[in-house]
Amino acid sequence: MSEDLLRTRNVSSRKHMDLCWCLAVVFGLALFTPGISRAFFEDLYVSGFVSQGYYKTSEYDFILSNSTKGTSEFNEAAISVQANPIERLRIGIQLIATDAGDMGNNEIRVDWAFGDYRWRDWLGFRAGKIKMQMGFYNIGRDIDMLRTSIFLPQSVYSENWRDFAMAQEGISFYGNSEAGPVGSVEYEAYAGALNVPDPDHSYWQRAFSSSAEFDLAVFNAMFGGDTLSYDLQQIVGINPAFPWIAGGSMIWNTPVEGLRFGASLITGEYEMTSKALAYVNIVDPNTGALKSSTLESLDVRWAARYLLSFFSVEYSWRQFILAAETLRFEQEHEINQGTYIMLTWEPTPVYSLSGYVSEFIPDIDNRDGKNFEDPLRKDFTAWQREAVLSGRVNLTSNWLVKAEFHAVDGIGQIFYTPEVLESNSRYWTMFALKTTFHF
């Protein structure tokens, strides 16, 4: 492992430890401050959960590394503590450890931790690491017992983003208000930065090296002159950063019982830096002959702004919940889109079934895969469609088991690598089992 990687990881771990210490001091002060310690103890609320899963795909390592072989590196454990030390003020922290293939590796980190001052019901203020309201279900993604399905629809809630896009470190204003005969509204606006806890995860390596922006950044890093090309040998010291993010969401609870609509808008910037070891080839522009080829260490950097928009609807009626959401992600010249519709049936408090269909389009201007520049690229890399069926049994009020099957068409959410290029498997499947204990 390079020094850059070690440094990045150490800085990330140190940041989390610093945050843990700050929160320990805040809780400690609350415990020993006269007048508030009694209330603090009375209201202390502790919860937790532990999940363990198994996951296998018929083709492609998707979501978890080594998924084609089947993997049980698929677990989560969390514990949260909250208290109201004084009226209107709530503080809390949740520590979480996850293992998702080669991501997480059960390192304990802060999932969320913030202070929340609710001045009025229509205006409150939070500061710290705060879960972001993106669509209806982002804030509950880690919490397996909330839903029947094991995975939320990947077209809208990509597991690739889960490590860093769940919570922002900054501030938030929020509230809710009655809207008379038209129901009520909940709203939130936030701003801060995203922390990438695992920058040396292979996701970044794959995302980095397979993108057009990377090619452009390498060419920018190379010197000018004759026609150039490069043969990439290694990328080291990848450092993804999300220096700022700002967003807002609104949920309208209509006067029709069980019917609600939501919209979320998020914008921000990311910056990627790394070193690329590559053979820089200088070619004679007239003859096309290779004049020289030297191994160079190139400083590669690019930055881009992005915009995400979510639109959501959910209707609960008797034993059924119908939900549909769409996500649009815009980044410079690229727009991708995800959509799903899901029906959940809860005939008893013990059993439930859920099914959804989902579609992800990486480039909305090339929905059918006919417009790729690369003639060898398969058309089914232009979409990923899934039909999913999930079942859940609550064995006790604190223990549940789930099973899930995905029939997939296309590989639009799999990074376009040489191995993927050689594959002809348009149709493939995913299977998952999971059990969760919670209190």
- What's the closest the beta carbon of residue 400 comes to another protein, in angstroms? 11
The answer to whether residues 281 and 227 touch, using CB atoms and an 8 Å cutoff, is no
Q: Which stretch binds another protein (CB under 8 A): 112-120, 267-275, 325-333, 402-410?
A: 112-120
The DSSP element (H or E) to which 206 belongs, if any, is helix 202-209
Q: Please identify, using beta-carbon distances, which residue of 69 and 318 lies nearer to another protein.
A: 318
Question: Which residues are 156's β-sheet partners?
Answer: none
Distance of closest approach, residue 252 Cβ to another protein, in angstroms: 14
Cβ at position 170, least distance to another protein in Å: 14
Contacts of another protein in 314-333 (CB under 8 A): 316
The two beta strands, 108-120 and 89-100, are antiparallel
Question: Considering only 39-47, 355-363, 383-391, 425-433, which stretch makes contact with another protein by CB under 8 A?
Answer: 39-47
Least distance (Å) between residue 57 CB and another protein: 28
Residue count (the chain) = 439
- CA separation (Å) from 247 to 152, 171, 251, 311, 430? 22, 11, 14, 14, 33
Q: Is 176 in the site for another protein (CB under 8 A)?
A: yes
Segment interacting with another protein (CB under 8 A) among 115-123, 271-279, 365-373, 384-392:
115-123
C-alpha distance from residue 373 to each of 125, 212, 247, 366, 414 (Å) = 49, 12, 35, 11, 18
Range in contact with another protein (rule: CB under 8 A) among 23-31, 99-107, 113-121, 227-235:
113-121
Residues 6+ apart with CB under 8 A from 336: 328, 329, 360, 361, 362, 363, 364
Which of 304, 281, 396 is closest to 350 using CA atoms? 396
Site for another protein in 369-428 (CB under 8 A): 394
CA nearest neighbour of 29 among 83, 72, 103, 102: 83
206 binds another protein (CB under 8 A): no
Binding region for another protein (CB under 8 A) out of 43-51, 237-245, 404-412, 414-422: 43-51
Contacts of 168 (CB under 8 A, 6+ apart): 129, 130, 132, 190, 191, 192, 193, 194, 245
CB of 190 to another protein, least distance (A): 13
Q: What is the DSSP letter of 33?
A: S
Least spacing, CB of residue 267 vs another protein, in Å: 22
Q: Candidates 114-122, 201-209, 335-343, 401-409 — which segment interacts with another protein by CB under 8 A?
A: 114-122
Report in angstroms how near the CB of residue 196 gets to another protein at its nearest: 21
Considering only residues 254 to 283 of the shown chain, the ones binding another protein according to CB under 8 A are 257-258
Angle in degrees, CA 377, 379, 381, rounded to 5: 75
Tokens of 347: 């005939």
Smallest separation (angstroms) from another protein to the CB of 332: 32
User: Are 167 and 111 spatial neighbours (Cβ–Cβ below 8 Å)?
Assistant: yes
Distance, CA of 436 to chain centre:
21
Is 179 a binding residue for another protein by CB under 8 A? The answer is no
Which residues from 116-135 bind another protein, rule CB under 8 A?
116, 118, 120-121, 130-131
Torsion angle of C-alpha atoms 200, 14, 92, 105, degrees rounded to 10 = 40
Among 186, 296, 334, 379, binds another protein (CB under 8 A): 186
Closer by beta carbon to another protein, 121 or else 284? 121
- The CA distance from 6 to 437, in Å, is 35
Stretch that binds another protein, among 26-34, 176-184, 202-210, 419-427 (CB under 8 A): 176-184
Residue 169: CB minimum distance to another protein, A: 13
Chain residues binding another protein by CB under 8 A are: 43, 45, 47, 49, 78, 80, 82, 84, 87, 90, 92, 94, 112-114, 116, 118, 120-121, 130-131, 139-140, 142-143, 145-146, 176, 178, 184, 186, 257-258, 316, 346, 349, 394, 438
